Structure 1
């Protein structure tokens, strides 16, 4: 494989992207910093197919990134391969308002091949290629220039190894017939809605006890205010205000700005300055949360109760057994909330009752709930057995 020197000029990048546009797939990774900013600061992009690989410096003066971004988001003929690509997709979304498509994530694919729910990149490379990845540059400050040869070599290795692994993984998926299992997961991962920072939805990330509409309305207003402040200043949310303080203010709102001096987690200067004034405006203008926006209750599964909770636990046990038997990550088969809904009597709009998930697990789950399947211990091994009720 040909490894290019660090790309810092527009012409070289455009020529690379023109060649990669004819490749069946490209592997992509990014290096970024986000400790002190709201938006991740893109510092390096690595890309490779089976013939060539390069690292691109997005911080290079005058570099036109459009050919690369067009390749990632608009070229439907090239499959984009990532490993645990959520943050990489977020960066592309922030730059373009779109996500790479079509998409393949090797961490998600590993779930279908019995390699756990969140296999790390180093373990993936070791298991497929027998190569120990050099971890020495993991904590590099990628925003500092110049980057040395070892740093660039380390970064490019993330995509050259992936370019060797992906065809092997694809072949294994074809042999096992599990490629189609991943379509829904890949579409979910690539949904642009996952990466949009909507200030009106920011409150849903903050944990708070209670369900009073006035409290939740203030929570929404304060979280929205914090989101806009953080975006405007390009600072992490927590640097503006911690989640605990957001929840505390929602539940115990100050009556006047001067009262902010007594709020734990806030500087006393907020009692007098402009940011404190803007916060009080947000609190004072908050409206009770509408019925349509109210979050579901923790006991939202209708009729679940204590017995239903026991049935849900049995379903989770069945899931572990079934996942073990077919060597797949349990989370790819079913999610806990689905099992609770099934235990509560829901029979529609559940992924486990449709398609391959029904064939592999949902059918047995339904039989267990409805009394046609039971647990048994045979030769010291926990297994499932059909009941007489089936006949």
Structure 2
């Protein structure tokens, strides 16, 4: 594979992207810094196909990234391959307002062909290539220039390994017939709405303190204000105030600015500084959350209770058994909250009762809840047994035993006659 020198010129990047646009797929990775900023600072982009690989320097003064963004977001003929690509996709979205598509994530794909829930990149490489990655450059400050040859080599390795692993993984998926399992997961990863940062919706990321419309209205107002403050200063939102502090203020709003000094998580300076005054103005204008914005209640069946909790535990055990049997990650088959809803009597809007998940796991989960499935131990291992099948087998065994007994009795009678 040809490894290019660090790309710092637009013409070099355009030529590279023109060649890569003829590939079936490209492997992509990014290096970024976000510890001290609101927006992640893109410091390096690595990209490769099966024939060539390069690192692109977004901080180079003479580089326009448009050819790269066009390849990643506009070219539907080239599959974009990432590993744990959520943050990489977010960066592309922040620059372009679009996401890479079509997309493939090897971390998610591993869930369909192994019991790995969130396999790390180094473990992926070791598993598929038998190689141990040198982690010496892991904690590089990628924003510092110049980058050393070792740093660039380390970064490019992320996509050269990926470009070799992906075709093997694809063959495994085709062989197992589980490619369709991943379609929905990949589309979710590429959904632009997942990365759209609307300050007015920031409150939904915070654990809501109850369902009081007044409290939620204040939570929404304060959360939106915090996002705007953090964006304006380009600092992490937690540097303004932590989530738990925001929730505390929404639940117990201070009456005066001086009271801000008593809020856990805020410094004494808030009682008389400008940011404290801005916060008090926001609180004064906050309105109750309207009915159409109130968070939906989680769907519930009958209260679980002790018996229901036991059923949910049995479903989780069933999930572990099935995941082990088919060698797939249990989280891909079903979520814990869905199992609890199923145990509580919910039968609608559960992904485990739809499509391939129903065929692979949901049907048995439903049978267990409805008393049609039982656990058995065979050779020291837990197995699932359908109650109907077991009853039929027992009846057949009894019938066979009866026939044998009749045959023995007839043989004895014949022997007596001969004597």
Q: Tell me the TM-score normalized by structure 1.
A: 0.96
Partner Cα separation in structure 2 for residue 322 and residue 228 of structure 1: 47
Preserved contact between residue 259 and residue 271 of structure 1 (Cα < 8 Å): yes
Partner Cα separation in structure 2 for residue 293 and residue 116 of structure 1: 38
Preserved contact between residue 9 and residue 63 of structure 2 (Cα < 8 Å): yes
CA-to-partner distance for each residue in 1:301-357, whole Å, 9 max, x for gaps? 231321333222211111111000000000111111222222222223222122211
Q: Which residue of 1 aligns with 2:276?
A: 276
**Aligned pairs (5 A) from 1:131-280:** 131-280=131-280
Partner Cα separation in structure 1 for residue 253 and residue 219 of structure 2: 10
**Aligned pairs (5 A) from 1:41-56:** 41-56=41-56
**Aligned pairs (5 A) from 1:281-292:** 281-292=281-292
Computed over aligned residues only, the root mean square deviation of the Cα atoms, in angstroms, reads 1.5
Residue 319 of structure 2 is aligned to residue 322 of structure 1: no
SS of the residue 1:80 aligns to:
strand
Residue 359 of structure 2 is aligned to residue 359 of structure 1: yes
Q: Which residue of 2 aligns with 1:295?
A: 295
Q: 1:247 to 1:41 in 2, by over 3 A?
A: same
Q: Tell me the TM-score normalized by structure 2.
A: 0.90
Preserved contact between residue 84 and residue 108 of structure 1 (Cα < 8 Å): yes
Partner Cα separation in structure 2 for residue 44 and residue 198 of structure 1: 26
Preserved contact between residue 13 and residue 68 of structure 2 (Cα < 8 Å): yes
- Superposed displacement of residue 289, structure 1: 2.2
Unaligned runs of 5+ in 1: none
Unaligned runs of 5+ in 2: 393-419
Residue 339 of structure 2 is aligned to residue 339 of structure 1: yes
Partner Cα separation in structure 1 for residue 18 and residue 296 of structure 2: 49
SS of the residue 1:116 aligns to:
coil
Q: 1:99 to 1:59 in 2, by over 3 A?
A: same
SS of the residue 1:292 aligns to:
helix
Preserved contact between residue 304 and residue 340 of structure 1 (Cα < 8 Å): no
Partner Cα separation in structure 2 for residue 194 and residue 232 of structure 1: 22
Per mean C-alpha deviation after superposition, the further-off stretch among 24-33 and 344-353 is 344-353
Preserved contact between residue 8 and residue 63 of structure 1 (Cα < 8 Å): yes
Structure whose alpha-carbon radius of gyration is higher? 2
Partner Cα separation in structure 2 for residue 282 and residue 62 of structure 1: 43
Q: Considering fraction of residues, name the structure with more helix.
A: 2
Preserved contact between residue 333 and residue 352 of structure 2 (Cα < 8 Å): yes
Per mean C-alpha deviation after superposition, the further-off stretch among 165-174 and 305-314 is 305-314
- Superposed displacement of residue 269, structure 1: 2.4
Preserved contact between residue 301 and residue 340 of structure 1 (Cα < 8 Å): no
- Superposed displacement of residue 388, structure 1: 3.7
CA-to-partner distance for each residue in 1:49-91, whole Å, 9 max, x for gaps? 0010000000000311001001001100000000000100010
SS of the residue 2:286 aligns to:
coil
Preserved contact between residue 21 and residue 75 of structure 2 (Cα < 8 Å): yes
Partner Cα separation in structure 2 for residue 286 and residue 220 of structure 1: 8
SS of the residue 2:101 aligns to:
coil
SS of the residue 2:324 aligns to:
helix
Q: 1:91 to 1:353 in 2, by over 3 A?
A: same
Aligned length: 390
